[in-house]
Amino acid sequence: MTWPITYEDVVSASRRLDPFLTPTPLRSYSTLDAALGCHVLVKHENHQPTNAFKIRNGLAALTALEPEEKKHGVVAATRGNHGLGLAYAGHMLQIPVTICVPEGNNPEKNEAIRGLGARLVEEGSDYDEAVLVMKRLVASQGLRMIHSTNEPLVIAGAGTLTQEILTQAKRLGESIDAMVVAVGGGSQSVGAMTVIQELAPQIPVYGVQAAGAPAIYESWKRRKPIVLEKADTFADGVATRMTYELTFQALLDGLADFVIVSEEEIAEAVRMMIQTTHNLAEGAGAMGLAGLIRLGQRLAGKTVAIVLSGSNIDRETLAQIYR
């Protein structure tokens, strides 16, 4: 089995994050449980500064750099939340950050990245083209690349949220039967499985992708990487169109199953998350819930952990969801 990080990497990342972040709550809601017919534990990563779990990834990476790398600065490609996390971390640690986003990216994420003092480069038609722009800047300007997925430090950072979930569930007297996790590049899910395999290997982890951006799902089903022409989903945080070297084999080996959800299912999950928890969710942030609904009867009566992974939905998208 090829596994990109160890549990010790997560523990080490957790120690580095400790001075900067407060554990986010793990909560349950009687109204959500009643709607789904199972007991749902919601991890509130929307409470993070930057409103997304990716702050963990950014901080885990920047706190581990060599002094020379810190001085030159870092570059990343993102649809927003990874960039926001890095920009926030760079702001706190005084490390120069350059963020590459595709043209037409979520304007509120762009503004917030700039507001944190990062340099924003808008180029390319989607995430995977922004990655090429990033690679060009690495070559031409000597910046340290912080890939949103293909970076062990990033995956270890994402793993810290599942470490928190297990600790908090124990304190609450909850016994988790399953976890359902959105898959964009795979940092959240592979981070989760790294922790679960060490601490609670009996818990199955289910992956969820958008039907409009199903590259990793399709690759997982065929057990070999495929690349799609486009990624078409309003859940911009998971709008990828290929597999990633560091996470694909782990997803193949580790996921109990993988499902896809339609745009309408994601929209309904956003509305249900808001209605039952009264917390805002972006599309990708409600995908764990959408996947749980899709898994339906298979998880009836179980205690299931999901991650409200982010709430950076823009005004127009939210308006469309309520239209």
Residues that bind a second copy (CB under 8 A): 22, 25, 27, 29-31, 34, 44, 46-47, 49, 51, 108, 111-112, 114-116, 271, 274-280, 282, 311-315, 318-319, 322-323
Nearer to a second copy, 27 or 119 (CB): 27
CB of 111 to a second copy, least distance (A): 5
The two structure tokens encoding residue 134: 């990033």
The number of helix segments (H) and strand segments (E) in the chain equals 14, 10
Nearer to a second copy, 8 or 316 (CB): 316
Nearer to a second copy, 98 or 194 (CB): 98
CB of 58 to a second copy, least distance (A): 17
Nearer to a second copy, 47 or 119 (CB): 47
Calpha distance 235→284 (Å, rounded) = 5
CB of 140 to a second copy, least distance (A): 29
CB of 313 to a second copy, least distance (A): 7
Nearer to a second copy, 150 or 276 (CB): 276
Nearer to a second copy, 46 or 149 (CB): 46
Q: Fill in the DSSP letter of residue 64.
A: T
Which spans in the chain are helix H?
A: 7-17, 30-36, 54-62, 67-72, 81-93, 107-115, 127-141, 152-172, 187-199, 215-222, 248-254, 263-277, 287-295, 315-321
In one-letter notation, the amino acid at residue 288 is G
H/E segment holding residue 83: helix 81-93
CB of 109 to a second copy, least distance (A): 9
Beta-carbon neighbour count of residue 74 at 10 Å? 24
CB of 280 to a second copy, least distance (A): 4
CB of 55 to a second copy, least distance (A): 13
Calpha distance 27→41 (Å, rounded) = 6
DSSP string, 192-261: HHHHHHHH-TTS-EEEEEETTS-HHHHHHHHTS----S----S-GGG---S--TTTHHHHHHH-SEEEEE
Nearer to a second copy, 116 or 305 (CB): 116
